[in-house]
Amino acid sequence: MLTDSGGYQIFSLPHSRSMSEAGAVFQSYLDGKTILLSPEMSIETQKAIGADIMMALDHCVAATADEATARAAMEITERWAQRSLAARGDSPQAIFGIVQGALSPELRRHSVERLAEMPFDGYAIGGLAVGETKCEREDLCEFTAPLLPADKPRYLMGVGTPLDILEAVHRGVDMFDCIMPTQLAQRGGVFTSRGFLQLRRGIYKFAEEKLDPGCACPTCARYSRAYLHHLTKSAETLGWQLLGAHNIYFYHQLMRQIRASIVADRFLEFYRSHRAFLDEPDLDNPIRLQKPKRRRPTALGHYAVHIAREGFASIRHVESGEIMHMRTPPMDEAQQLYVEQSRLAERLRSGDNAEHSKPLVIWDVGLGAAANAMAAIRCYEEQATLGPVRPMRILSFENDLDSLRLALLHSRLFPYLRHAGPPAIADGGAWQSKQFAGLSWQLLEGDFLEMIAAATAAPDAIFYDMFSSKVSADVWTLKAFEKLLTACGDKAAELFTYTCSTSVRVALLAAGFYVAQGRSIGAKVETTIAVTPAAFRSADGARHNFLSFDWIGRWNRSQAKFPAGLLPGQQLAFEQVIREHEQFQSG
């Protein structure tokens, strides 16, 4: 057991100490009491502790101290060294003297000469590792060590890393002390035969290998890097202990090898082979200089991520500036406009009715960033956990998957996409729920009007969420809606769309749909619902707020009276079709 005299410890209390010939006066950090640490009291204390090696009390100054301060400290250290030796008396405990003199070779030489005349059992090079550079320390060590008696141990205080130790041995030092092996262990740092590892790194999370393949310490024998990583990350003191035990073992092993190489007269060879190696960082998992984080593109194809003033994200069509879900978060709008208006939850629940054991088919026209489809899927999943539901199939129509792909790159901004469905649709065009056999989703990629023919089931509900006629004119025409109604066959199908544009409504009417007002959503005062004749005549067909004959009057005054694509010569006939639509006959 080696004890220090307290000189260095007092040096590290710069605000509550004073030095005098008698000793160092400092304030107890426990009760504020003034304590005089004299050389005699220091030795008395070290004797009581039972140290094998005691240190004489020294006066430590910063390595960068000026010449006068360093000289005064060196001189007082000499006088204290004599008093310390005297205080030892006839104790069998060994005592070392401490060489001071800051960075001055002249002072160091003087200090060595004076101390060497005293009958110390060994000599320490003190006052290093206190603010000097590694180079300054090595130079001073190289200068001082050979001056010390060759037949007494030479001790470099407060040093260091394995490489520091190797360098100091090379310069003639025998002994070291340092907090490094245990202090680094507390922070997850370990010296190994594969370099210096920082176990906090995530790379060790699943590393089942030994901490150090070349080490025989108890930690390496028992614990994987992954377990030690876990202990370190969770600040378990067991982690410090295990890593500290390994580090100390590593230091001991290094010193054993150094001694063996000296005895075998092969130290220089050992020094050369270990000099580069001991300073290696993690060899197996090198730390790469972090590349600047690659930013995810905020635009893709015709689309860009848009952050609304309200803080939610949506997708913007770059050329038109049109934004999907302008004033309402995508999922809120999808929920209110499509899921609630179609009474999806209620229709899914009627699964015990024989007629309703057939799948409910949703045509999701304009997949976009998949908000509407995901709202329907969430609704299904919620209902299915509550009780029996009928199967549900979603057919999404989309000719450009870039908006979905862009949103998937930013799933932090589009949290509803954190689901197995959207990536499966983007990658393979189909998704089948693993949890619910009745839930499936299919993509029909291409222009909607052409893809209608590819649909394998007629719709019960249509979520009609295409960009406006400015961007995609052809899907809002009379022809488009005629084709859509034909695809519905004799099904009682309902279509929901965000627009309340008169020209769209008359196109739907002219195509044969029955048209009702949809609810107000966000900034939209009104939306639109269109149903097939079968739905209009069905039991709950009357639940919608169908446009009345009064609406015809407003239509007549409208600027956008006719749907896109209608030739002037067809307008009269078109007007008649609307007036004579069955919807307006009853009122």
Binding mask 245-264 for Zn ion (x = CB under 5 A): -x------------------
CB 365 within 8 A of CB 464: yes
Q: Is 465 in the active site?
A: no
When the beta carbons of 183 and 385 are compared against Zn ion, the nearer one is: 183
Q: Which is the catalytic residue, given 31, 58, 151, 177?
A: 177
Q: How do strand 122-125 and strand 154-156 relate by DSSP bridges?
A: parallel
Phi and psi torsions of 192, nearest 5°: -140, 170
When the beta carbons of 199 and 215 are compared against Zn ion, the nearer one is: 215
Q: How many residues of this chain interact with Zn ion, rule: CB under 5 A? A: 6
Contacts of 286 (CB under 8 A, 6+ apart): none
When the beta carbons of 225 and 246 are compared against Zn ion, the nearer one is: 246
Q: Which residue has the tokens 């004797």?
A: 47
CA distance 469 to 563: 10
Q: Is 4 in the active site?
A: yes
Q: Which is the catalytic residue, given 4, 58, 164, 364?
A: 4
CB 397 within 8 A of CB 444: yes
Question: Taking the complex as a whole, how short is the minimal distance between the CB of residue 69 and Zn ion, in angstroms?
Answer: 44
CA 505 to chain centroid, in Å, comes to: 49
CB 554 within 8 A of CB 532: no
CA distance 274 to 255: 12
- What's the DSSP call for residue 214? T
Question: Taking the complex as a whole, how short is the minimal distance between the CB of residue 168 and Zn ion, in angstroms?
Answer: 23
Question: 3-class DSSP state for residue 306?
Answer: strand
Contacts of 124 (CB under 8 A, 6+ apart): 55, 96, 97, 98, 99, 154, 155, 156, 157
H or E segment to which residue 480 belongs: helix 478-488
When the beta carbons of 173 and 220 are compared against Zn ion, the nearer one is: 220
Question: Taking the complex as a whole, how short is the minimal distance between the CB of residue 220 and Zn ion, in angstroms?
Answer: 3
Q: Which of 582, 584, 531, 533 is nearest to 343 (CA)?
A: 531
Question: Taking the complex as a whole, how short is the minimal distance between the CB of residue 226 and Zn ion, in angstroms?
Answer: 15
Q: Which residue has the tokens 């250290």?
A: 77
16's tokens: 């509550």
When the beta carbons of 181 and 459 are compared against Zn ion, the nearer one is: 181
Please list, residue by residue across 332-345, b when 16 or more beta carbons sit within 10 angstroms of its beta carbon and e when fewer do. Answer: bbbbbbbbbbbebe
DSSP for 39-67?
A: HHHHHHHHHHHT-SEEE-------TT--H
For position 220 contacting Zn ion by CB under 5 A, the verdict is yes
Number of H helices and E strands in the chain, helices first, is 22, 22
When the beta carbons of 88 and 225 are compared against Zn ion, the nearer one is: 225
- What's the DSSP call for residue 290? P
Q: Is 272 exposed, middle or buried (0-12, 13-18, 19+ CB in 10 A)?
A: exposed
When the beta carbons of 223 and 546 are compared against Zn ion, the nearer one is: 223
Question: Taking the complex as a whole, how short is the minimal distance between the CB of residue 224 and Zn ion, in angstroms?
Answer: 12
Q: Which one of 65-73, 172-180, 239-247, 390-398 is the stretch in contact with Zn ion (CB under 5 A)?
A: 239-247
When the beta carbons of 215 and 305 are compared against Zn ion, the nearer one is: 215
Binding mask 179-218 for Zn ion (x = CB under 5 A): ---------------------------------x--x-x-
Question: Taking the complex as a whole, how short is the minimal distance between the CB of residue 177 and Zn ion, in angstroms?
Answer: 21
DSSP for 233-264?
A: HTT-HHHHHHHHHHHHHHHHHHHHHHHHHHHT
For position 165 contacting Zn ion by CB under 5 A, the verdict is no
Q: Which one of 166-174, 238-246, 471-479, 550-558 is the stretch in contact with Zn ion (CB under 5 A)?
A: 238-246
Question: Taking the complex as a whole, how short is the minimal distance between the CB of residue 173 and Zn ion, in angstroms?
Answer: 25
Question: Taking the complex as a whole, how short is the minimal distance between the CB of residue 217 and Zn ion, in angstroms?
Answer: 3
CB 102 within 8 A of CB 61: yes
% helix, strand, coil for the chain, step of 5? 45, 15, 40
When the beta carbons of 247 and 503 are compared against Zn ion, the nearer one is: 247
Question: Taking the complex as a whole, how short is the minimal distance between the CB of residue 286 and Zn ion, in angstroms?
Answer: 21
When the beta carbons of 228 and 443 are compared against Zn ion, the nearer one is: 228
Question: Taking the complex as a whole, how short is the minimal distance between the CB of residue 199 and Zn ion, in angstroms?
Answer: 12
Q: Footprint of Zn ion on this chain (CB under 5 A)?
A: 212, 215, 217, 219-220, 246
- The residues annotated with a catalytic role in the active site are 4, 177
